[in-house]
Amino acid sequence: MELTPEQVKQFDRDGFLLFPNLFSGEEVDILRQETDRISQIRSEMVVREGETEAVKIMFRLHETDGETASPAFRAAAHTPRILRAAQQCLHDDDVYMHHSKLNMKAAIEGSAWMWHQDFHAWHLDGIAEPNMATMTVVLTEATPLNGCMYVLPGSHREGRSDPRRDESTAYKLWVAKTPDMKEYMKKYPEPVPIVGGAGTAALFHCNLLHASGHNLSAEDRWQIFFCFNQCKNRPANVENPRPDYVRSRNWTPLTVSAEDGIVTAGRELAA
Ligand code: SIN
Ligand code: MN
């Protein structure tokens, strides 16, 4: 897949692109089997929450080594649909993955993500330029009831806001302050929900404000996130760097594979 020049312009203008049904049912099935497998692992890379210790986040699925490594998610990250789109929107063919994560947002218990910009944490990781983008793919249908993600169109142009630390969920993060967020909501168009059947995807800029609500439904909302950075924008050394699973030290440029990578990986996993 190659984005059109209009799509790249749209990304620059709105800070995101939507791709309904980007991945097939067969591909989604393979990725869902891998999600099931990895969610059984006890590791610091698998963050749990709530009464049933449901998985909230699983990190580092894209590498070849480590407890949470998944050949199928690694293959997904290298497909043109994901990697080529990221290269085009970052206007650079030399990109690496800052991290990958899968948010499982469990039925009933899965908690909200307050409005935030990803780049604040990444800047603290030592990254200078806000020229990063995330491709996310929903692996179960995403709806307002199950806590789909929302993006605030054009808000990446705001630059980095002055956030506050939110410790109300099992994963602490930097979020937009409430008075600021009220102003942004007046200033920018209505938030856009990332809804759709499994396989639907979105690519969004690292300064785009986004959020999602609690999962009030009886079904999990599974969603993978691949966060890309330009190799030349790799982090500078910082004191007490975060672990490799959130601040990767693998700065080798990624190479685009064939589109059928997930299906091939699925066959190998089944063999
Ligand atoms: C995130 O912004 O990192 C997660 C959002 C979500 O899973 O809805
Ligand atoms: Mn985020």
230-258 pLDDT, tens digit each: 999 999 999 999 999 999 999 999 999 99
Distance CA 90, CA 17 (A): 13
Q: Is the pLDDT of residue 178 over 90?
A: yes
pLDDT greater than 90 at residue 180: yes
* Residue 161 clears pLDDT 90, i.e. is over it: no
- Ligand 1, pocket residues at CB < 6 Å: 103, 113, 149, 210, 212, 223
Does the pLDDT of residue 117 top 90, yes or no?
Answer: yes
In this predicted model, what pLDDT tens digit does every residue of 205-238 receive, in sequence order?
Answer: 999 999 999 999 999 999 999 999 999 999 999 9
What mean pLDDT value characterizes the chain? 97
Give the rounded percent of residues in the chain with a pLDDT score beyond 70: 100
In the chain, % of residues over pLDDT 90: 97
DSSP string over 22-73: -S-HHHHHHHHHHHHHHTT--STTEEEETTTTEEEEEE--SSSSSTT--HHH
Question: pLDDT tens for residues 36-87?
Answer: 999 999 999 999 998 999 999 999 999 999 999 999 999 999 999 999 999 9
- CA neighbor of 203 nearest in space, from 6, 10, 4, 5: 10
| Residue 111 pLDDT greater than 90, yes or no | yes
Q: Among 151, 195, 225, which residue has the most ligand 1 atoms within 8 Å of its CB, making it the best to mutate?
A: 225
Atom of ligand 1 nearest to the CA of 210: 2
10 Å Cβ neighbour count for 126?
15
Note the pLDDT of residue 160.
Answer: 84
CA of 103 to the centre of ligand 1 (A): 7
Residue with the nearest Cα to atom 4 of ligand 1? 113
Task: Quote the CA–CA distance of 218 and 246 in Å, as a whole number.
Answer: 30
Note if the pTM is more than 0.85.
yes
pLDDT tens digit string along 73-109? 999 999 999 999 999 999 999 999 999 999 999 999 9
**Token code pair at residue 250:** 């693998």
- Find all residues with CB under 8 Å of 99, minimum gap 6, and list them: 59, 60, 227, 245, 246, 247, 248
Cβ atoms of 152 and 16 within 8 Å: the answer is: no
Domains and CATH numbers, the chain: 5-270 (2.60.120.620)
**DSSP H or E run through 221:** none
Residue 116 Cα: closest atom of ligand 1:
2
Q: What is the whole-number distance in angstroms between the Cα of residue 115 and the centre of ligand 2?
A: 8
Average pLDDT over residues 192-216: 98
CA of 223 to the centre of ligand 1 (A): 8
Query: In this predicted structure, what is the pLDDT of residue 1?
Result: 84
Expressed in angstroms and rounded, the spacing between residue 149 Cα and the centre of ligand 1 is 7
